[in-house]
Amino acid sequence: MLTRETKAAPPRAVKHPTPVVLVPGIFGSQLDGWYKKKTAPHYYCSKDSGGWTRLWLCIECMVPTVLGCWTDNFALNVTDLNNIKNRDGVQTKVNDFGYTDGIAYLDSHQYVVYFEELIKGIAALPGYFRGQNIRGAPYDSRYPPNSRVGKIYMIQLTKLIEETYLINYNTKVMIIAHSMGNPIMVNFLKQMTQSWKDKYIQSFVALNGVFGGSAKAIRALASGETEGLPGLIVDPLTMRSMEQTLPTIYWLLPSPSLFEDDVFVMTDKRNYTAHDYSDLMTDIGAPSGAELYNMVKDVPLFDDDLGVDVHCMHGINNTTPLQFQYAKSKFPDTFPTTLQGNGDGTVNLKSLELCKKFKRLRTYKQFTGPLAKHLEIMQNPAVIQRVVEILYYSQLNETETTQDTLHF
């Protein structure tokens, strides 16, 4: 049995390595679009793509003259949970389900790295191969789990895990999720029977899980979120018009039960807490914002009893948006002064630390520094090494149960 000071033995081949299924976060899956539209927001916007083209991530679309065209193609039309769909004339598809290309990089030029370094770290272990026992489960992250598209994904994920189990000699599967992929897995695991989980799931590894929401979701809906791109290049208000149509942005609003009476938005007329979302949606002029929030507010981001072993890792001590202050008469159509708190740069610490409450938490580790940030953690050598070690020892059933830092 490992103790806290035990060092890992060099990896050796095992007969049937534990297969992994990788679940990305919001905007963590490549998404292609094919559009033939009757109207467009600007005269210079193409109405016909002439075939499939990269919709997310389209780096060349993130420039002023094209951004409005792209946001109109990426936005959703929402009537109710059973009638959430693309803009008229737009088709979309997720790339490479079951394999890894659709989550390794996000753009077609492979400039934006996502799961690739983690995949390479796992593939370096003896007996691991992409597409066989390293598999990806990308999804259209615009749709929440309780939508029609979200429910279809849950069925696809079930079949993928069962298939992965079978093609790997009936070996239980380890789920590795990042960001919003973690509450996606919370909802998935809660709907599965315990007998199914006992048969198919080895464990669940949570990386920078947004278990209690993120204050950045508030800023996205109120004034637009540019995801770190300069405001002079990417107009936040143009992004806002698209982000206000995405149900998952509302799903990721800070949980009222977790953040209680914390003030998130401060204006000259009033302040807003997590209990004021309906008023906030009205005051920012979000079309159907309150209805969109009501569609997803009861879909859990966290549950402490998933019926599987959990390993949790997340970043801390990176400045993370927490409160948004607007100058007089500037709310909501200007980018606010942002007051920072603790977290991973995107997800607030309260939300990240919820994973300590899992009843079957096996290991827990916090990481600091620039490579502990929300996306950067996926390229952190220490994190990758820890995932590899958890994966390796899962095959030997030698990992000690603890909520403290393990030294492999």
**Catalytic residue IDs:** 179, 344, 374
Query: 3-state secondary structure string, 128-180?
Result: CCECCCEEECCCCCCCCCCCHHHHHHHHHHHHHHHHHHHHCCCCCEEEEEECC
Separation CA 70–CA 352 (nearest Å): 32
Q: Are 321 and 349 in contact (CB under 8 A)?
A: no
Each residue of 227-257: b (16+ CB within 10 Å) or e? eeeeeeebbbebbbbbbbbbbbbbbbbbbbe
Residue pair 161/173 in contact (Cβ under 8 Å)? The answer is yes
222 φ, ψ (degrees, to nearest 5): -80, -45
Rounded-to-integer distance, Cα 349 and Cα 320, Å: 9
Beta-carbon contacts of 152 under 8 Å, excluding residues fewer than 6 positions away, are none
Q: How far, in Å, CA of 289 to CA of 277, rounded?
A: 9
**Tokens at 299, concatenated:** 């879909």
For residue 124, with 0-12 CB atoms within 10 Å meaning exposed, 13-18 middle and 19 or more buried, which class applies?
Answer: exposed
In angstroms, the CA 300 to CA 190 distance is 10
Whether the CB-CB separation of 344 and 200 falls below 8 Å is answered with: no
- What is the rounded CA–CA span in Å between residue 214 and residue 348? 6
3-state class (DSSP) for residue 28: coil
Rounded to the nearest angstrom, the gap between the alpha carbon of residue 373 and the centroid of all alpha carbons in its chain is 14
Q: How many C-alpha atoms does 158 have within 13 Å on its Cβ side?
A: 15
β-pair partners for 64: none
